[in-house]
Amino acid sequence: MDAERERLLHDVYDAANRGDFDDLVERLAPDVEWRTPTRTIRGRNAVAGWLTGWHTSYRPRHRVERLIESGDDVVVFVHIAYEGREENTPAHVWTFAGARISRVRIYPSRAHALEELGLEE
């Protein structure tokens, strides 16, 4: 695992846990694509706005459990605890373009994320 990417991703999750979306989006490419199971969001400002609303509603706390690097992608198994909502353990796939994140894909199923990338657990 590339140490720089690992540090950047831990910084992203730390920023999310603090609710510091300015810090978080600084690590994203200006034209980032952020895919959730229900929508695709494009651009830093749109991502920041969506994250602010989501975090205000549910107050999620992220805990990184595992990182798996595959080329320009890093799969992160994360445990998310919420206020007023059931916890979950999705996979987030972060795609890097140089030192910035160009795409984020959120998978409710870890197995599906690995399958999409041709990986096995």
**Average pLDDT per consecutive 10 residues, the chain (121 residues; last block may be shorter):** 94 95 95 97 96 89 97 97 91 96 97 93 75
Cα separation, 105 vs 92, in Å, equals 6
* Size of the chain in residues: 121
Q: Does the reported pTM lie above 0.85? A: yes
**Structural domain of residue 62, as residue ranges?**
3-116
Element of type H or E holding 104:
strand 100-107
Per-residue model confidence (pLDDT) at position 1:
85
Does residue 121 form part of some domain?
no
Does residue 77 form part of some domain?
yes
CATH of the domain at 51: 3.10.450.50
Does residue 48 form part of some domain?
yes
Number of domains in the chain: 1
